[in-house]
Structure formats: structure tokens, C-alpha cells
Amino acid sequence: MAAGGLLPSLPTLTVLVPLLSLAGLFYSASVDETFPQGCTSTNSLCFYSLLLPVTIPVYVFFHLWTWMGIKLFRHN
């Protein structure tokens, strides 16, 4: 039996994760009083709300890049 029901599909995650990250960014901008200045400290919520939207696409890009490299290497 396939692992279904509880895990969302990849296209759903592809849309959902950036939207949640953007919501976190807007939340930080509206709640954190030192939003523009406080983004350099790793203790700040702002730092992670800016880091997450950048990290996920970069990870996906390099994961796909590695996968394509392995595919091309095997077939040539």
C-alpha cells in the first residue's frame, strides 16, 4: 500500500512552502519592531523569515542540478 493520504504532493508543497515563508516574512515585518535593523542577528525572527524563502529554492535547484548530472553521467 502506498504512503498516501497524509503527505501532500510535491506540487502542493512547491506552492505551499513559499506562501508560508512569505507569510512569515510579512508577520516579521508587522510584529518585529527592529525589522530592518534586526535582520542580521541570528536570534531575530526576521533573519529566519528571510533565510527560509532563499534556502528552499536554492536547495531545490542544486538537488535537481545534481540529479540531472547523475542522469547525464550514467547515459553517456
Q: Which of 49, 43, 24, 46 is nearest to 34 (CA)?
A: 46
Q: How many Å apart are CA 3 and CA 55, to the nearest integer? A: 27
* Residue-level pLDDT, tens digit, the chain, 76 residues: 455 567 677 677 777 777 787 787 777 777 777 666 657 677 777 777 777 777 877 888 888 888 888 888 876 6
- Overall domain count for the chain: 1
64 part of a folded domain: yes
Is the pTM of the predicted complex or chain greater than 0.85? no
60 part of a folded domain: yes
Q: How many Å apart are CA 7 and CA 50, to the nearest integer? A: 26
The residue segments making up the domain with residue 20 are 10-74
| DSSP structure string for 8-56 | PPHHHHHHHHHHHHHHHHHHHHHH-TTTTTGGGSTTSHHHHHHHHHHHH
